[in-house]
């Protein structure tokens, strides 16, 4: 019995930690439309493509809210720098959309999407 406790508890704890750290792909998947980051990236891209800047501002706010919903779920399974990069991309995107700079917006959206894709690799 002592041997089971001596080896069993540390092994179980290590397995739980590994499971949490490797669950990033699953945890970043949307649970509803409110936290679908990729959908909002595509919507903002489409809005900017047709020069609908007011809709792009709304969708950028929704993108920011969606990211804020996803962050607590993935915080233990991804690196902090990767999360910070996405937050910075969204902050820059807000300013670019306010300034109505089409080429800079597409650049920032591409970088944001790439950071999202690389988040759990």
Whole-model pTM: value is 0.86
Phi, psi at 22, each rounded to 5°: -95, 5
Residues 9-49: tens digit of each pLDDT: 899 999 998 988 888 888 889 999 999 999 999 999 999 99
The residue with tokens 């670019």 is 96
- Look at residue 1 and tell me whether its pLDDT is greater than 80: no
């Amino acid at each position: 019995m002592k041997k089971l406790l001596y080896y069993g508890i540390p092994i179980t704890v290590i397995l739980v930690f590994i499971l949490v750290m490797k669950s990033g792909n699953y945890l970043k998947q949307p649970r509803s439309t409110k936290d679908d980051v990729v959908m909002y990236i595509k919507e903002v891209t489409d809005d900017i493509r047709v020069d609908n800047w007011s809709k792009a501002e709304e969708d950028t706010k929704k993108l920011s809210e969606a990211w804020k919903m996803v962050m607590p779920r993935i915080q233990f399974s991804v690196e902090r720098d990767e999360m910070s990069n996405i937050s910075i991309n969204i902050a820059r995107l807000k300013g670019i959309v306010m300034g109505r700079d089409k080429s800079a917006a597409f650049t920032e959206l591409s970088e944001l999407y790439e950071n999202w894709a690389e988040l759990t690799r």
